[in-house]
């Protein structure tokens, strides 16, 4: 009896293998293997493992129960991450530079100069190339620490209370919140007493010399060669004027007005609009309704949000190209979370439902999780239209060259091309072979 059960199990395994390889059985969404014309290969056994290989750009990535563990490479660099706390990084095979960190507790590695370091937080040690610092040394944080950025060396005692920094162009001293000063030679001198009650500044640069103070919550004034700023009941009421800009807060943050280089009309939380450079942001009933515009070299991007349920984006051409005239919409996207989304880029488009993830096309979600809640997907790729229903229980593709459908992952199906007609039953193909 035991031998019969073994034979039956082997038969099932062999039959599955034959069906999968010879008949093209569809294991979606659990298993997927694809190869693109640009050489990119993708393999997934969801949600446990996925692998994407991009030989042309010398990139690869592997996910293990994403976001539990991820490993990726670019040229000679290799990066591994465990959740959001621990990661390792090997920079090149030609040197020993690497990192093995479990934030915020463990730090070990070799920096770009070949110098090793090690630290266990909060007990002590040294960390290199961390948080914008070249080096950080600490003992029983926050009791004592030292750090270095270029030629500026900083010593702290009972951080953030006591601090002293010294460099070729900088000198800072702080006993927070009682007293502090900062001298950036040739630029400015800043000081505070009982922060934030009293702060002052003296600009020593030739571009815009001047200075002033702010006494919270009474009064303040900073006057430079190019601008004059007043505060009354600081920081709530402010008036600033210059040749290129004026600003009024009356009171901040509820009413904020500005004109010139930066345009601002804010009546928080009911309405707000701010324009600076190529970016314009507008809202109603903050933080729920947003309308943003960003200008790029060849197009303008419009984004509209109804947080958290609605999102809309469109890219309108402002400079003619081979494919578009001025005013054409190059791409469009909208999402009604968590129900559905639709996107179009060039002539290709995709619609799908459901859409549980609130962000747009997060790569880790797309590779490992999104196929599980995608109940229906319609894709138009270079004129080929495909329908994917209930994890592939029904599939259909149609193009000028062929038409194909399958039901119950290939239990029955049909395929028509210009040269043949084929039928599928019990996962196997019957009918005429395709002619060249």
pTM: 0.82
Q: What's the domain range around 303?
A: 289-331
How far apart are alpha carbons 172 and 188 in whole angstroms? 12
User: For residue 268, is it within any domain?
Assistant: no
Tell me, yes or no, whether 294 lies in a domain. Answer: yes
In a domain, 416, yes or no: no
Q: How far is it, in rounded angstroms, from Cα 104 to Cα 302?
A: 39
- Specify if 304 maps to a domain: yes
- 311 falls within a domain: yes
Q: Tens-digit pLDDT profile for the chain (436 aa)? A: 445 443 444 343 344 444 444 445 678 899 999 998 888 999 999 999 999 999 999 999 999 999 999 999 999 899 999 998 898 999 987 788 999 999 999 999 999 999 999 999 999 999 999 999 999 999 999 999 999 999 999 999 999 999 999 999 999 999 999 999 999 999 999 999 999 999 999 999 999 999 999 999 999 999 999 999 999 999 999 999 999 999 999 999 999 999 999 999 999 999 999 999 999 999 999 999 999 999 999 999 999 999 999 999 999 999 998 888 999 999 999 999 999 999 999 889 999 999 999 999 899 999 999 999 999 999 999 899 999 999 999 999 999 999 999 999 889 999 998 888 999 998 888 886 654 4
- DSSP bridge partners of 136: 127, 147
The predicted pLDDT at position 78 comes to 94
8 domain-assigned? no
User: What pLDDT was estimated at residue 2?
Assistant: 45
Predicted pLDDT of residue 36: 85
Instruction: Say if 248 falls within a structural domain.
Output: no
**How many other CB atoms are found less than 10 A from the CB of residue 16?**
12
Query: In the chain, how many domains are there?
Result: 1
Give pLDDT, residue 218.
96
Output the CA–CA distances (angstroms, integers) from residue 349 to 90, 133, 337, 338, 381, in the order listed: 39, 45, 19, 19, 7
Does residue 301 belong to any structural domain of this protein?
Answer: yes
């Amino acid at each position: 009896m035991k031998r019969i059960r073994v034979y039956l199990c082997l038969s099932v395994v062999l039959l599955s293998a034959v069906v999968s390889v010879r008949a093209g059985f569809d294991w979606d969404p659990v298993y997927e293997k694809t190869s693109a014309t640009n050489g990119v290969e993708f393999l997934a056994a969801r949600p446990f493992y996925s692998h994407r290989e991009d030989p042309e750009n010398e990139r690869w990535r592997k996910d293990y129960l994403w976001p539990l563990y991820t490993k990726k490479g670019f040229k000679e660099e290799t990066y591994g991450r465990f959740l959001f706390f621990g990661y390792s990084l090997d920079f090149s095979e030609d040197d020993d530079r690497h990192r093995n960190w479990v934030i915020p507790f463990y730090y070990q590695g070799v920096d770009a100069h070949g110098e090793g370091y090690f630290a266990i937080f909060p007990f002590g040690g040294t960390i290199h190339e961390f948080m914008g610092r070249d080096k950080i040394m600490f003992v029983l944080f926050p009791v004592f620490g030292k750090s270095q950025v270029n030629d500026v060396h900083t010593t702290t005692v009972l951080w953030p209370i006591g601090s002293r920094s010294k460099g070729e162009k900088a000198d800072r001293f702080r006993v927070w919140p009682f007293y502090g000063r900062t001298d950036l030679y040739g630029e400015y001198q800043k000081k505070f007493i009982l922060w934030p009650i009293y702060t002052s500044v003296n600009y020593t640069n030739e571009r815009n010399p001047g200075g002033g103070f702010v006494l919270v919550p009474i009064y303040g004034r900073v006057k430079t060669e190019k601008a004059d700023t007043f505060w009354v009941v600081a920081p709530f009421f402010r008036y600033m004027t210059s040749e290129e800009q004026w600003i009024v807060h009356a009171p901040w943050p509820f009413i904020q007005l500005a004109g010139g280089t930066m345009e601002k009309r804010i009546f928080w939380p009911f309405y707000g609009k701010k324009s600076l450079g190529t970016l314009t942001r507008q809202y109603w009933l903050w933080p729920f309704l947003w309308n943003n515009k960003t200008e790029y070299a060849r197009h303008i991007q419009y984004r509209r949000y109804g947080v958290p349920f609605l999102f809309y984006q469109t890219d309108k051409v402002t400079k003619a190209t081979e494919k578009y005239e001025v005013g054409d919409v190059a791409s469009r996207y909208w999402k009604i979370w968590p129900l559905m989304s639709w996107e179009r880029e060039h002539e290709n488009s995709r619609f799908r439902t459901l859409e549980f993830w609130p962000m747009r096309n997060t790569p880790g979600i797309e590779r490992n999780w999104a196929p599980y809640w995608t109940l229906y997907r319609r894709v138009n790729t270079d004129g080929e239209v495909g329908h994917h229903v209930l994890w592939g229980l029904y599939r259909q593709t149609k193009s000028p060259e062929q038409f194909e459908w399958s039901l119950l992952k290939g239990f029955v199906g049909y395929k028509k091309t210009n040269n043949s007609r084929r039928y599928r039953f019990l996962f196997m193909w019957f009918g005429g072979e395709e002619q060249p």
